[in-house]
Amino acid sequence: MRHSYHGMNRNGNAGTLLYVHGNPAGAYRDSKDCMTVADLTELFVQAKISFDEALQIVQQKTIVYAPDATMQAMLSDRQGRTLIVEPGIGWREAVGRFSLITNYSVLAPESTRPFIVPGDDRYERAAKLLNSYGEHFTVADAFSVLRAVRQEGIWATRVSFVYSAKEHAVYYVRNNAFSQIEKYEFPQF
């Protein structure tokens, strides 16, 4: 079963947890030297830790799955820094025009290749589309990419969102209703 969890706070910190096919190296362990990817993401979205603190945690602790759930995460901040965390595989910090995560491993694709469903090329299509845009990438452009790679059917995309740092706002679409883009503006502080 694949589901996802998304969260964003008024500081512009966003976290996404995707359920994935697990690997034994990321199995849950109750140890002071370990932290679950779910706890790391929750602390970040709740603004209890900063991006730099999340980065320090992945450098110092073994990141594992939550009990009975195999997930990987992408954390990002207002400055565009991104941290991809795959329990049992590793992590990668990125700064760039965009970052992508998928239900398969980005850090070690060969480890999840046996689980890829024929025709599931959404990650590759999204990367190609994102690379085709010039310097000025708009909210509308982001939604055109999200619409092009949305899932339908039993695993349909439930929410697609775009954060605008310039506007300090989140635009979002529920249940693939791309004609009904909603906006939430974070209060100024």
List, for residues 134-144, the tens digit of each pLDDT value: 888 899 999 99
From the list 12, 61, 14, the residue with the least C-alpha distance to 41 is 14
CA angle 97, 101, 105 (to 5 degrees): 130
Residue 18 confidence (pLDDT) above 70: no
% of the chain at pLDDT higher than 70: 89
Report the pLDDT value the prediction gives residue 2, as an integer from 0 to 100: 39
Residue 37 confidence (pLDDT) above 90: yes
CA angle 185, 139, 166 (to 5 degrees): 50
What lies within 8 Å, CB to CB, of 52 at 6+ separation is: none
| pLDDT tens, position by position, 87-134 | 999 999 987 778 888 878 888 888 877 777 777 888 889 999 999 998
Instruction: Identify the weakest region by mean pLDDT among 16-20, 32-36, 86-90, 182-186.
Output: 16-20
